[in-house]
Each structure stands twice: as structure tokens, then as C-alpha cells.
Amino acid sequence: MVEKELLNPARAAKGQRSTLIGILVNVLLVAGKGTAGWLGNSYALIADAIESATDVFTSIIVWLGLRTAAKAPDNDHPYGHGKAEPLAAIVVSVSLIGAAILIAVQSTENIMTPHRAPASFTLWVLVIIVIIKELMFRFVEKVGDEVQSNAVKADAWHHRSDAITSLTAFIGISIALIGGKGYESADDWAALIAAAVIVFNAYRIFRPSFAEIMDQAPAGNWVEEIESVSRTVHGVEAIEKCFVRKMGFEYFVDLHVIVDGALSVREGHDIAHSVKSAILENMPVIYDVLLKIEPSDPRNHNG
């Protein structure tokens, strides 16, 4: 029988490390954006700083969620603490929506209030920010794919949404500077558009995380692959049921295997162990398989 830890420590550490890097980058960007926005009279840039500030908060939530998900099972949590990971992602999505609402309200107020155009130096600040945040998105997204974490992927999309808000701010400020008098509010319209983009990204983060909390079957050919591996075991006649669910970084399987009804209990038990071992060896991301043996003889079938 294959014995496995609930979570590969290296995968958990990798996800936490990328999150801590993101926190450090965002702290520096909050200070830079806020200062440049205030000195350069750009609310779009200040809105960008607000979005980065929420990134710091939510990245801390993600980091705590990953640490909790990595804890070993205990008496109160026999299946581990994996649900902490998608819960962290849901907190991220809700906080994104809150930040978007704050930005939208302030942008609307600024559109209604006449003000001078932003300073031209803010454009250079935004170019640097877009490059940094897009590089961070690609780095963290890659880590999220490697450790198969919705929370880490949510953190990556925080960086992408930040790059998008910075890009819209760049466009708005450019219009305000090129258009001159009468176009000062283009900067604020850019912040308003950025708020809508943030809400869309929040939905992208929320949907898979909520699905995981609800034990929705994961996307992909999981059932087909599990059934294929199971049928390679001698004595397996067919697969009656196969259910898969994700818990944090790991996957759990419920499987009903049909064997010859004339076999002894010991023989059926040995086949069950062989099937479980084959699945765990061929699909390392699966942590456990709950397996039931069903007889192929209808007269002995209890359902």
C-alpha cells in the first residue's frame, strides 16, 4: 500500500514563498503609487494604490490560508485543513469587490468635481508599475499551476488586475494630457473602468473557489483516468461509481469496483488494495481513495 503525506511540504512552501514575495512588492508599490498620485494630482494612480493596498491584505489572507491548509489532519479535522485554501481565495474575491466599490464611488465624485489634469511624470511611474505587476502575475500564476492552488492563482490575478488598473490609468492620464482643458476627468473615467475590471477578476477568482467549497467535481478527465488505471488491476470487472473532489492541494476519490461475486472476502479485499495502490502510484496528486467492492452476481448485490 502506498503511504502518503496529506500535503507535499515543498509545494506548500513554494506557494507561501510566492505570496510573501507578492506582499513585499505590493508594500513598495503602495508607497510609490500613493506618493506619485498625490504629487501628480492623479486619482487613477491613487485608486491603483488603493487596489495594491488591498493586495497586501488579501495576500496575507492567502498566506494564512496556505499555512492552515498545510496542517496535518487531527481529531477534529480527519480529512485535513484543505478547505482553508479555497476559503482564502473567496476572501480575496470579496475584498476585490470592496476595493472596486471604493474606487468607483471616489471616481464618480471626482468626475462631478472640476479639477486640474494629472502631471505628465505619472505616466512613467505607471509604465514601470505595469511591467512589474505583469511579471509578478506570470511568476505567481506559474507557481499556482505547479502547486494546484486556487488561492495562489487568485493572488496571481490580483497582480494582473493591478497591471490592468495601471494600464487604464495610463490611458486616462494620456487622454487628459493630450486633450487639455475639458479632458481632466479622463483620469477618473479610467479609474471607473478599472473598478469594473477588478469586479470581473473577482468573479473569476470566486467561481472555482466556491465550486471547490461545494465539492464540485474538478474539471478534466479525472474519472476516465481513474477508471482506466483501475481496470489494469487483475480481478476488476468494471467500475460502477467514481467520484472525485478537491480538498486544498489534494484530491480524494470515492470508487465502487465490481469483481466476481464468487470471490472470497479476502480476495476481494486484496483486489481493493491493489486498485488503491495503482491509483496512488499513477496519480500522485490523489491523497486517498475510499473504495467499495461490489459483486458482479446480481443475486449477491445489495446496492
22-74 per-position pLDDT tens digit: 888 888 888 888 888 888 877 667 777 877 777 787 778 877 877 777 777 77
Indicate the number of domains in the chain.
Answer: 2
Answer positive or negative: Cα dihedral of 7, 10, 14, 17.
positive
Q: Is the pLDDT of residue 2 over 60?
A: no
pLDDT tens digits, one per residue of 177-203: 787 777 767 767 877 887 887 788 788
Distance from CA of residue 86 to its chain's centroid?
Answer: 7
47 and 196 fall within a common domain: yes
What CATH number has the domain bearing residue 23? Answer: 1.20.1510.10
pTM over the 0.85 mark = no
Measure the CA–CA gap between 268 and 228, rounded to whole angstroms: 19
Measure the CA–CA gap between 292 and 295, rounded to whole angstroms: 10
pLDDT score for 270: 92
98 and 161 fall within a common domain: yes
Average pLDDT of the residues of the chain: 80
Number of helices (H) and strands (E), helices first, in the chain?
8, 3
Cell for 1? 500500500
153 and 269 fall within a common domain: no
What CATH number has the domain bearing residue 247? Answer: 3.30.70.1350
Q: CA Rg, the chain, in Å?
A: 26
Structural domain boundaries, residue 193: 9-213
pLDDT score for 301: 47
239 and 163 fall within a common domain: no
Answer for the pair 85, 66: CB distance below 8 angstroms, yes or no. Answer: yes
46 and 113 fall within a common domain: yes
Residue 121 neighbours by CB under 8 Å, 6+ apart: 36, 40
pLDDT score for 20: 83
pLDDT score for 4: 47
Distance from CA of residue 294 to its chain's centroid?
Answer: 38
Answer for the pair 67, 16: CB distance below 8 angstroms, yes or no. Answer: yes
pLDDT tens digits, one per residue of 122-166: 888 889 988 998 998 898 888 887 777 777 777 787 788 778 778
Q: How far is CA 162 from CA 49, 51, 140, 169, 248, in A?
A: 9, 7, 14, 10, 26
Residue 139 φ/ψ, nearest 5 degrees: -65, -50
